[in-house]
Amino acid sequence: MDAKLKYKAKKIKIIFFDIDDTLRVKQTGYVPASLSHVFQALKEKGILIGIASGRAIYGVVPELKALKPDYYAMINGSFVEDAKGRVIRQKSIPEELVKRFIEWTKEEGIEYGLMGSDKSTLSHRDERISKTIDIIYENLETDPDFYKNHPIYQMWTFEQEGRQVKLPIDLQENLRSVRWDTMSSDIILKDASKAAGIAAVVEHLGLKPENVMVFGDELNDLEAFDYAGISVAMGVSHPELQEKADYITKTVEEDGILHALEEFGLVEKEKYYPQLDLENVSGARATIKTNHGDLQLQLFPEIAPKTVANFVALAKDGYYDGVIFHRIIKDFMIQGGDPTGTGMGGESIYGAAFEDEFSMEVFNIRGALSMANAGPNTNGSQFFIVQNTKLPYAKKELERGGWPAPIAEIYATQGGTPHLDQRHTVFGQLRDEASYVVLDTIAAVETGAMDKPVEDVIIETIEIED
């Protein structure tokens, strides 16, 4: 990357990301764990974050919503709102154009879809249509007359295999077609584009195009690339888009977004993995004394300060004394910390559930101490220790999946639960071999209904060494 481009990056105040094959792999649903770190790092620098997509906001998957972007420029810029749901731009397709489009699809013998601001429908559903649309919008209703009672912001064509239809001249006066699949195109107003949606946000904020960076991979990103001060194409993206791009990064699976932002100097490259360097980690240590032996743990207050403070305070208050490990699953984990012993109770020192503290420096490797939860930001008093010793993935597979090489090595050779990363706060790690023996002993006890031990596995007390 040349110095001039890096200098331009200093002017960036907002970054817009496409979704499919940019933030997320369309075919598999894979979202790189590194995105949590990326979004957090950008926010810490005061850089705003937007999503610019052909999708509607109800098509944004929960994993991406959980990252809390500041703006949504959706339906190819036809419907734009902020994180609080305040509409910044909306421009629907006139009903007479929708009717004419539907007439034309019938003349061509093809099916169509209609997209509203809070719902989409199909004219017909069959296997080929389901295969195309369900990876974006699952279980859409069949309602060919949806337009009669709802504003329509975009339409789709669903064509026969090997065929690509072209809008008739009369519709081309007001509408245009943007190909997004081999058998489907977005049909939008001529002036609708991601660029129009992004521009609405930029004007709303009093910024300039030079303050904007965009990431994308397909033809419906072309106008956004023309508009933005800096444009970044993903590693697997349309050749036309790559020609326009200021920079071509790696693929989603290769952490392309993180890589590009590190190169631009907008996200720090340095990483430290305390679980792999326990002897040099500072901070409190804990000893969970059980009726099966002691579990010695190093805590990570610098990684998860609020979580560690909660655990330490509860332990010192005797909150965990006499509490059982109520859920034990061999080759997975042991879970405790609920005074009711049911898995339904427990409370934090904060009086209510508290937020997750995810990090790209700690992971759910074997021996990790993590918070149990009932979804995002629902932490209380319950915790678990990862016990799994078997993992069906090789190091290279994990690296391709987005895990850092040193962590992938530990997962592959020692075990863990990588599917829990960025879903549960990791705040400590077992620190000696004797503790792993106790962990495996507890994991092997006989269990009954709801994975509860037949004979209680009791936390006698938790001692804290500050």
Residue with tokens 């245009």: 176
Cβ proximity of 312 and 464 under 8 Å? yes
Cβ proximity of 354 and 373 under 8 Å? no
Phi and psi angles of residue 411, each rounded to the nearest 5 degrees, phi first = -55, -45
| Residue 317 to residue 320: CA distance in whole angstroms | 8
Q: Name every residue whose Cβ is closer than 8 Å to that of residue 179 and which is 6 or more positions away in sequence.
A: 164, 185, 219
| Residue 356 to residue 343: CA distance in whole angstroms | 19
- Two tokens, residue 10: 């200093």
Return the closest-CA partner of residue 129 out of 181, 165, 164: 181
Which amino acid, 11? K
Sign for the pseudo-dihedral over CA of 332, 333, 334, 338: negative
| Residue 278 to residue 300: CA distance in whole angstroms | 10
Containing 169, the helix (H) or strand (E) segment is helix 169-172
| Residue 325 to residue 298: CA distance in whole angstroms | 20
Which one-letter DSSP state was computed for residue 94?
Answer: P
Q: 18 catalytic, yes or no?
A: yes
Q: Say how far residue 28 (Cα) sits from the centre of its chain.
A: 13
Within 218-316, strands assigned E span 230-233, 247-248, 285-290, 293-299
Exactly one of 18, 20, 21, 356 is catalytic; which is it? 18
| Residue 456 to residue 466: CA distance in whole angstroms | 29
Phi and psi angles of residue 354, each rounded to the nearest 5 degrees, phi first = -125, 165
Which amino acid, 408? A
Report the alpha-carbon angle 246-247-249, nearest 5.
Answer: 160
Catalytic residues: 18
